Amino acid sequence: MEPTSQMGMNRTGAQMSPMDTEKMERYSESMGPDVGIDDMNAPAEAQPAAELRAQYIDEAHLVGSVPLPGTVKGAMSTTMDKLTGNRPEVLIDKLGERLAFERQGTRLYELMMAKCREMDTSALDPDVLSTLSHFRDEEAEHFALVDESMRALGADPTAMTPCADVAAVASMGVLQAIADPRTTVPQCLNALLTAEMTDNAGWELLIKLADSTGHTEMADKFRQALIEENEHMATIKQWLERAVVTEAS
Ligand SMILES: [Fe+2]
């Protein structure tokens, strides 16, 4: 496998230019420290960034909303849930998040497969491509499972829920890292591990939420997905360790 870490002409560190570093330090000392958001005792005019941030937070609206049910079945199911004291919008929001994440997961594995086709990954595992393809298919199955669960509740799986929106923003870096043609297989595995760890925690939470709101049948189906997600996470972690340790020695 192509090495990830090589010595080269990297000039980003301070040691590469002691004279400029000295000038930079003199300048930063003359400017004094930035007054951060933590220093709430400082007068407002002394912390413009914190002041501006606070103003934005005060004025901001929420990131979107959970759509009202668009079908009779959805309206009835929502009413029943409300009558039993549950707020169905919380479950629908988190289902929407999982749906978006699994769709993204399918794309991440496709990008990963494209990368592995161009590189020698035999040191990781002789079956890397078929394992990745299997995981990609499972992500797609999980997507279909969540889609079906949302429809069963009468919710609209094509709507972007607030948590789906925020999760998509948070995971943008993972997609960018894997899609970057310069990144190596271990670097992509590292990014993929970030996604899989978040995904695992997401399924655990969804199972608890479905159970606690009385959707036990749904929770049981999600438990199977969690078993598969655990395998994804463990495999990616193991490959990453193998790749990095092999390269170092
Ligand atoms: Fe996964």
pLDDT digits (tens, 9 = 90+) for 158-168: 999 999 999 99
What pLDDT does 131 receive?
97
pLDDT at 86: 79
pLDDT at 7: 87
Distance 247 CA to ligand 1 centre (A): 26
CA of 229 from ligand 1 middle (Å) equals: 5
Asked if the structure places residue 11 within a domain, the reply is no
Give how many domains the chain has, as a whole number.
1
CA 6 / ligand 1 centre spacing (Å): 31
pLDDT at position 102, please?
96
Residue 10 lies in a domain: no
Average pLDDT (34-55) is 69
Residue 110 lies in a domain: yes
Which CATH number covers residue 138? Answer: 1.20.1260.10
What is the Å distance from ligand 1's center to 150 Cα?
20
How many CB atoms neighbour CB 30 within 10 A? 7
CA of 90 to the centre of ligand 1 (A): 23
Give me ligand 1 centre to Cα 233, in Å: 7
- Centre of ligand 1 to C-alpha 209, Å, is 20
Q: What does the pLDDT read at residue 81? A: 72
**What is the rounded distance in angstroms from the CA atom of residue 165 to the CA atom of residue 55?**
23
Q: What pLDDT band is residue 35 in, cutting at 50, 70 and 90?
A: low
pLDDT at 95 exceeding the cut of 70: yes
- Looking at the chain, the whole-number percentage of residues with pLDDT higher than 90 is 67
User: What angle is formed at CA 113 by the lines to CA 109 and CA 116, rounded to 5 degrees?
Assistant: 135
Question: Domain range for residue 169?
Answer: 72-248
Specify if 234 maps to a domain. yes
Please indicate, yes or no, if residue 61 is contained in any of the structural domains.
no
The fraction of the chain above a pLDDT of 70, given in percent, is: 90
Confirm if 230 and 111 have CB atoms less than 8 A apart.
no
Gap from CA of 223 to ligand 1 centroid (Å): 13
Confidence of residue 51 (pLDDT cuts 50, 70, 90): confident
CA diameter of the chain = 72
What does pLDDT average to over the chain? 90
Query: How does pLDDT run across 55-89, given as a tens digit for each residue?
Result: 999 999 999 999 887 777 766 776 667 666 678 89
Ligand 1: distance of its center to the CA of 245 in Å?
24
Q: Is residue 56 part of a domain?
A: no
Distance 72 CA to ligand 1 centre (A): 34
- Give a yes or no: residue 217 inside a domain: yes
Domain contains 25: no
In the reported structure, the alpha carbon of residue 230 is separated from the centroid of ligand 1 by a whole-number distance in angstroms of 8
Query: Cα separations (Å) of 1 from 29, 133, 178?
Result: 46, 20, 17
The pLDDT of residue 93: 96
**C-alpha 224 – ligand 1 centre gap (Å):** 12
Q: Which residue has the higher pLDDT, 86 or 30?
A: 30
What's the gap in Å between 213 CA and the centre of ligand 1? 25
CA atoms of 13 and 11, how far apart (whole Å): 6
pTM for the full predicted model? 0.86
More confident residue, 230 or 120: 230
Q: How far is the CA of 105 from the centre of ligand 1 (A)?
A: 6
CA 107 to ligand 1 centroid distance, Å = 11
Asked if residues 192 and 114 have their Cβ atoms less than 8 Å apart, the reply is no
Question: Is the pLDDT at 229 greater than 60, yes or no?
Answer: yes
Quote the ligand 1 centre to 136 CA distance (angstroms): 8
Specify the pLDDT at position 10: 85
Q: Which residue has the higher pLDDT, 67 or 138?
A: 138
